[in-house]
């Protein structure tokens, strides 16, 4: 989660907002709410003290009127000492403020306790002139409930902060996500749907630029295919004519020379055939069950390797796998052909195993290997290692380019491991 742009941005925004919120509450609490609370508690404490003093000094007959007056107009109640008091555990700091204020005014320790069964009402015993007076007041009498205010504020504001930042970040990351998906599709040789060119200016511009690039790439690919396909096709006719002319030459012509030319023409035809295959891409093909053993045996028969170059085939005669048969044939043909051509006449081994839905086929040779710096490049069209270029029976350098194209289009995977001098091993996962 924290690896994605969405996760990171929302984390930063939410935590910044929360820190800001807590700081605001702390500052407001310290400079505003706390002093107001103290002031309130102080006022109430002095009212209680004043009432107690007045009560004690009043003549007996007027005391009841005074008590009635207090409860009616000031919400202060007279206790008779029969109230059951609970342990005083104060959630709100106001009680502590009041206790402090009363204690300092009276010069002795004063406790405020709630009444058992009526936790709303609190009582305080005040000793004045050898007498103890019990005065009660209700919870709501002591003003703002600081901790609750802070708690509700934090709760509501954090929920708002989280939601709004998630909403905001989603708005920003969604187009970036779409862009990355579309770029991946182009990378795999596909055509993505055009991106929506809307939203904030920068994102809309990016989408527009990307869409243009995507169409440009498609056009370029199409032009290249048409052009090269056309050239390859048109070269076939003059080649055929050359071959016919070569066959009609009088016997007096040097046969070695003419057979060399015939070989060159063969070679050119092979290149053209392979190139047309590459530019045409893959035809639509259905998935069908393929007997892997039969397929590989057929390919080996086509290639006709030297007798010495025995192929070690992992033997599982009845093994079938549902896949694109023609595409798999082309890929395996090129890989086995290479293993045999560049395997220095050493045995080649082919094995396969199924892991879940994936079939892994590995072709290993014991040739001279492919140096690290060439391992990626050999998948480019016409790229051949120096050693193979000098070879008399040269290939075209298109085999692996075709393999690469099929692998990408079918969503398969290919991995190559090769150590110079001891051979190459290529695994395809389909
Ligand atoms: P073709 O189009 O006939 O297959 P090619 O074999 O030369 O021609 P690729 O199959 O594309 O072309 O291979 C490109 C190059 O990679 C080869 O020329 C060769 O130098 C090198 N190469 C490929 N496979 C191996 C291998 N198993 N061992 C060593 N080198 C290899
Ligand atoms: Mg090849």
392: confidence class by pLDDT, cuts 50, 70, 90: low
Does residue 169 fall inside a structural domain? no
417/340 same-domain check: yes
Q: How far is the CA of 301 from the centre of ligand 1 (A)?
A: 20
The pTM of this model reads: 0.56
The reply to whether 196 falls in a domain is yes
Asked if 366 and 423 touch (Cβ cutoff 8 Å), the reply is: yes
Confidence of residue 37 (pLDDT cuts 50, 70, 90): confident
Which two tokens mark 210? Answer: 């990307």
CATH number at residue 34: 3.30.450.300
339 lines ligand 1 (CB under 6 A): yes
Q: Which residue's CA lies nearest to atom 24 of ligand 1?
A: 338
CA of 394 to the centre of ligand 2 (A): 9
CA of 242 relative to ligand 2 center, distance in Å: 26
Report how far ligand 1's centroid is from the alpha carbon of 390 (Å): 13
Is 90 exceeded by the pLDDT of residue 89? no
Residue 175: inside a domain? no
Encoding tokens for residue 63? 């005391």
Q: Is residue 307 part of a domain?
A: yes
Q: Which ligand is nearest to the CA of 401?
A: 1
pLDDT of 281 reads: 64
User: Are residues 139 and 14 located together in one domain of the fold?
Assistant: yes
Per the domain annotation, does 375 fall within a domain? yes
Q: Name the more confident of 28 and 205.
A: 205
CA distance 311 to 124: 101
CB atoms near residue 355 (< 10 Å): 8
Helix spans in 248-369 (H)? 255-280, 292-303, 325-341
Kindly state whether residue 165 falls inside one of the protein's structural domains: no
Which pLDDT value is given to residue 390? 60
- For residues 296 and 420, membership in a common domain is answered with yes
Contact 400 CB / ligand 1 (< 6 Å): yes
Q: Give the length of the chain.
A: 430
Range in 28-42, 265-279, 351-365, 413-427 with the lowest mean pLDDT? 265-279
Q: Quick one: which atom of ligand 1 is closest to the CA of 389?
A: 18
* Residue finishing a domain among 89, 117, 148: 148
Please name every residue paired with 262 in a beta bridge, in sequence order, or none if there are none: none
Query: What is the DSSP track for 142-155?
Result: G---HHHHHHHHHH
Q: Is 334 in the pocket of ligand 1 (CB under 6 A)?
A: yes
The domain boundary residue, chosen from 87, 118, 148:
148
Best mutation site among 388, 424, 425 for ligand 1, i.e. most ligand atoms within 8 A of its Cβ? 388
The whole-number pLDDT of residue 410 equals 87
Alpha carbon dihedral 366, 367, 373, 378, in 10-degree steps, equals -110
At residue 1, the pLDDT reads 57
**Could you tell me if 419 and 355 lie in one domain?**
yes
- pLDDT at position 389 is 64
Q: Is 370 in the pocket of ligand 1 (CB under 6 A)?
A: yes
226 or 362: whose pLDDT is higher?
Answer: 362
pLDDT in the model for residue 119: 80
Is the pLDDT reported for residue 384 higher than 70? yes
Pocket test for ligand 1, best of 335, 340, 347, 397 (most atoms within 8 A of CB): 397
Classify strands 348-355 and 413-419 as parallel, antiparallel or unpaired: unpaired
Residues 127 and 215 in one domain: no
Among protein residues, the one with the nearest Cα to ligand 1's atom 12 is: 397
Ligand 2: centre distance to CA 136 (Å):
100
Across 113-122, 165-174, 185-194, 308-317, least confident range: 308-317
Within this chain, do residues 302 and 232 fall inside the same structural domain, yes or no?
no
Residue 425 lies in a domain: yes
Ligand 1 in reach of 367 Cβ (< 6 A): yes
With H, G, I as helix, E, B as strand and everything else as coil, classify residue 330: helix
DSSP 358: E
**Residue with CA at minimum distance from ligand 1 atom 23:** 338
Ligand 1: which atom is nearest the Cα of residue 365?
A: 27
Alpha-carbon distances, residue 325 vs 165, 280, 317, 370, 402 (angstroms):
51, 18, 17, 29, 15
Sheet containing 118-128: which strands, arranged edge to edge?
76-78, 131-138, 118-128, 112-115
Q: Could you identify the residue written with the tokens 């290639």?
A: 303
- The domain that holds 406 is classified in CATH as 3.30.565.10
Give the mutation target among 309, 362, 399 for probing the ligand 1 site: most ligand atoms within 8 A of CB. 399
Do 201 and 135 belong to one domain?
no
**pLDDT number for residue 24:** 85
The pLDDT confidence band at residue 393, using thresholds 50, 70 and 90, is low
Looking at residue 424, what is its pLDDT? 95
Mean pLDDT of 140-149: 69
Asked if 282 and 409 count as a contact pair (C-beta separation under 8 A), the reply is: yes
Query: What tokens were used for 343?
Result: 């395997």
Number of domains in the chain: 3
Q: Measure 270 CA to ligand 2 centroid, in angstroms.
A: 12
Give me the pLDDT at residue 397, please: 85
- 312 CA distance to ligand 1 middle (Å): 21
Q: Are residues 299 and 310 in the same domain?
A: yes
Boundary residue ending a domain (225, 258, 280): 280
- Average of pLDDT values for 119-143? 86
- The answer to whether residue 199 scores a pLDDT higher than 60 is yes
Which residue's CA is the closest to the ligand 1 atom numbered 17? Answer: 384
CA distance 258 to 254: 6
Whether residue 418 sits in one domain with residue 343: yes
| 396 and 316 assigned to the same domain | yes
CATH number at residue 255: 1.10.287.130
Higher pLDDT, 359 or 306: 359
CB 342 within 8 A of CB 423: no
138 and 222 fall within a common domain:
no
- Ligand nearest 385 Cα, by number? 1
385 falls within a domain: yes
Identify the band that residue 155 occupies on the pLDDT scale cut at 50, 70 and 90.
confident
Residue 34 shares a structural domain with residue 54:
yes
Ligand 1 proximity of 279 Cβ (cutoff 6 Å): no
Containing structural domain, residue 409: 283-429
Q: What average pLDDT does the structure give for the chain?
A: 86
Q: Is 41 helix (H, G, I), strand (E, B) or coil?
A: helix
């Amino acid at each position: 989660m924290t690896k994605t742009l969405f996760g990171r941005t929302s984390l930063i925004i939410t935590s910044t907002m929360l820190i800001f919120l807590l700081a605001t509450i702390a500052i407001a609490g310290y400079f505003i709410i706390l002093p107001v609370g103290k002031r309130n508690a102080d006022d109430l404490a002095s009212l209680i003290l004043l009432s107690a003093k007045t009560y004690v000094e009043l003549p007996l007959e007027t005391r009841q009127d005074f008590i009635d007056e207090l409860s009616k107009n000031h919400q202060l109640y007279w206790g008779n000492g029969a109230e059951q008091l609970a342990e005083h555990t104060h959630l709100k700091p106001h009680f502590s403020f009041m206790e402090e204020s009363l204690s300092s005014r009276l010069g002795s320790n004063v406790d405020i306790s709630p009444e058992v069964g009526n936790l709303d009402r609190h009582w305080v015993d005040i000793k004045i002139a050898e007498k103890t007076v019990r005065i009660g007041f209700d919870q709501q009498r002591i003003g703002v409930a600081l901790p609750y205010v802070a708690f509700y504020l934090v709760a509501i504001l954090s929920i708002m902060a989280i939601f709004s930042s998630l909403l905001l970040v989603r708005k920003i990351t969604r187009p970036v996500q779409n862009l990355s998906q579309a770029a991946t599709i182009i990378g795999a040789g596909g055509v993505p749907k055009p991106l929506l060119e809307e939203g904030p200016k920068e994102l809309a511009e990016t989408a527009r630029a990307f869409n243009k690039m995507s169409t440009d790439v498609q056009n370029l690919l199409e032009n290249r295919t048409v052009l090269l396909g056309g050239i390859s096709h048109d070269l076939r006719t003059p080649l055929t004519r050359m071959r016919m002319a070569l066959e009609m030459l009088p016997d007096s012509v040097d046969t070695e020379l003419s057979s060399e030319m015939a070989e060159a023409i063969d070679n050119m035809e092979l290149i053209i055939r392979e190139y047309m295959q590459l530019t045409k891409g893959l035809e639509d093909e259905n998935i069908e069950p393929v007997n892997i053993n039969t397929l590989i045996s057929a390919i080996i028969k086509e290639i006709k390797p030297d007798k010495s170059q025995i192929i070690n085939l992992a033997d599982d005669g009845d093994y079938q796998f549902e896949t694109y048969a023609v595409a798999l044939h082309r890929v395996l043909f090129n890989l086995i052909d290479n293993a045999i051509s560049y395997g220095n006449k050493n045995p080649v081994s082919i094995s396969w195993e199924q892991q879940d839905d994936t079939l892994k086929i590995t072709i290993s040779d014991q040739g001279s290997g492919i140096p690290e710096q060439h391992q990626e490049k050999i998948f480019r069209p016409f790229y051949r290692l120096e050693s193979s270029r000098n070879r008399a029976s040269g290939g075209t350098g298109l085999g692996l380019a075709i393999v690469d194209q099929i692998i990408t289009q079918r969503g398969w995977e290919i991995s190559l491991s090769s150590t110079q001098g001891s051979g190459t091993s290529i695994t395809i996962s389909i």
